[in-house]
């Protein structure tokens, strides 16, 4: 059974992510692993000492109890967590601890809060967003803290007309859309600098249809110099439940959004779960 990892920091910002992970895990037939990474911060302690071993044991017991109570409370399962695996990981750097667990269990998806207090905040603010997506061996779904709709009916895929987009949409259909019955709206924003946008869209559509067989895919292109603002409008117009973006190495659509204060705008104004897929996964 494939594994879906949900990273939790015990804050309110983790609640929506956990609930969405539960729904997706059930619908996609994936095992849900609730993960909490913490730092014991015993800088000057001798890891071979009895005192250290005792503190480590106490810390893991405390974190395990807190994680179980958090999941039981917010998933409404009481103490019956048979379908949820609890995982406690000690690591000084939270994002590296998460990455190690993803690799260890060959996870298919990482779900976490789009915002977070303390440790998880570093993962989804500024350049660390791109860093997490690039280091993860699976796609990352970031869920806003206010999000209440966990059924994924509409997906908005922002494309830059790359061949990798075709592979990513193929993966999206096979992994998510068919099982969930979701519609996929493939969307591109064309600027003045772009050459032959209509021809590229036609080429892309024909190539995708050769690779992917799925009747719930639509295509749309809009001309605009305000990439971020137009994207937000499209999210609203399509009533998207998830916005999907491919992380790219070159300057392009996703790269321009992920740099500088654009990611802060996405956190504060995006108001929709963001599924970030690393281009390297399709090499």
Would the CA dihedral through 277, 278, 279, 281 be positive or negative?
Answer: negative
What span, in angstroms and rounded, lies between the C-alpha atoms of 67 and 10? Answer: 7
Domain boundary residue among 112, 143, 174? 143
Query: What's the confidence (pLDDT) of residue 150?
Result: 92
Domain boundary residue among 91, 114, 143? 143
Are 98 and 127 in a shared domain?
yes
Query: What's the confidence (pLDDT) of residue 264?
Result: 47
Domain boundary residue among 117, 143, 169? 143
Specify the CATH number for the domain of residue 89: 3.40.50.620
Please name which of 206, 176, 205, 207 lies closest in space to residue 188, comparing C-alpha atoms: 205
Confidence band, pLDDT 50/70/90 cuts, at residue 155: very high
Are 132 and 9 in a shared domain?
yes
| Assigned domain for 149 exists | no
Please name which of 231, 222, 226 lies closest in space to residue 157, comparing C-alpha atoms: 231
Interval 36-56 mean pLDDT = 72
Count of structural domains, the chain? 2
| Assigned domain for 148 exists | no
Q: Which domain holds residue 196?
A: 154-282
Query: What's the confidence (pLDDT) of residue 153?
Result: 95
Are 128 and 234 in a shared domain?
no
Q: Give every CB contact of residue 70 below 8 A, 6+ residues apart in sequence.
A: 8, 10, 14, 18, 34
* Residue entry with tokens 């990455």: 99
| Assigned domain for 202 exists | yes
Are 86 and 186 in a shared domain?
no
For 199-228, what is each residue's pLDDT tens digit?
A: 888 889 999 999 999 999 999 999 888 888
Please determine, for residue 149, whether its predicted confidence score (pLDDT) is greater than 50.
yes
For 244-258, what is each residue's pLDDT tens digit?
A: 988 765 445 545 544
Confidence band, pLDDT 50/70/90 cuts, at residue 132: low
SS3 state of residue 149:
coil
Please determine, for residue 262, whether its predicted confidence score (pLDDT) is greater than 60.
no
CA 20-26-28 angle, to 5 degrees, is 95
For 57-74, what is each residue's pLDDT tens digit?
A: 888 899 999 999 999 889
**Under a CB-based contact definition with an 8 Å cutoff, are residues 228 and 257 in contact?**
yes
Please name which of 83, 117, 112 lies closest in space to residue 98, comparing C-alpha atoms: 112
Are 132 and 226 in a shared domain?
no
Query: What's the confidence (pLDDT) of residue 115?
Result: 64
Please determine, for residue 24, whether its predicted confidence score (pLDDT) is greater than 90.
yes
Please name which of 79, 31, 16, 54 lies closest in space to residue 241, comparing C-alpha atoms: 16
Query: What's the confidence (pLDDT) of residue 183?
Result: 97
Query: What's the confidence (pLDDT) of residue 248?
Result: 61
pTM: 0.85
């Amino acid at each position: 059974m494939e594994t879906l990892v949900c990273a939790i920091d015990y804050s309110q910002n983790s609640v929506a992510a956990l609930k969405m992970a539960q729904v997706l895990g059930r619908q996609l037939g994936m095992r849900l692993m609730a993960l909490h990474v913490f730092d014991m911060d015993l800088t000057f302690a001798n890891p071979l000492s009895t005192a250290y071993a005792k503190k480590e044991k106490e810390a893991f017991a405390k974190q395990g109890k807190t994680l179980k109570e958090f999941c039981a409370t917010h998933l409404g399962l009481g103490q019956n967590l048979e379908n949820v695996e609890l995982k406690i990981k000690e690591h000084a750097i939270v994002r590296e601890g998460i990455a190690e667990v993803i690799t260890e269990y060959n996870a298919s998806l990482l779900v976490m809060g789009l915002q977070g207090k303390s440790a998880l905040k570093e993962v989804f603010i500024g350049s660390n967003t791109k860093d997490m997506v690039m280091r993860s061996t699976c796609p990352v779904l970031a869920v806003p803290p206010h999000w209440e709709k966990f059924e994924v009916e509409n997906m908005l895929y922002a494309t830059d007309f790359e061949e990798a987009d075709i592979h990513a949409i193929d993966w999206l259909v096979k992994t998510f859309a068919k099982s969930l019955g979701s519609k996929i709206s493939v969307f591109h924003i064309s600027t003045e600098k772009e050459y032959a946008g209509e021809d590229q869209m036609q080429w892309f559509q024909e190539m995708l249809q050769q690779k992917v067989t799925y009747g719930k895919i639509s295509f749309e292109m809009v001309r605009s110099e305000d990439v971020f603002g137009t994207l937000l409008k499209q999210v609203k117009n399509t009533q998207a439940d998830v916005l999907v973006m491919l992380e790219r190495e070159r300057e392009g659509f996703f790269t321009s959004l992920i740099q500088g204060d654009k990611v802060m705008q996405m956190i504060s104004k995006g108001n929709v779960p963001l599924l970030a897929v690393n281009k390297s996964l399709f090499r």
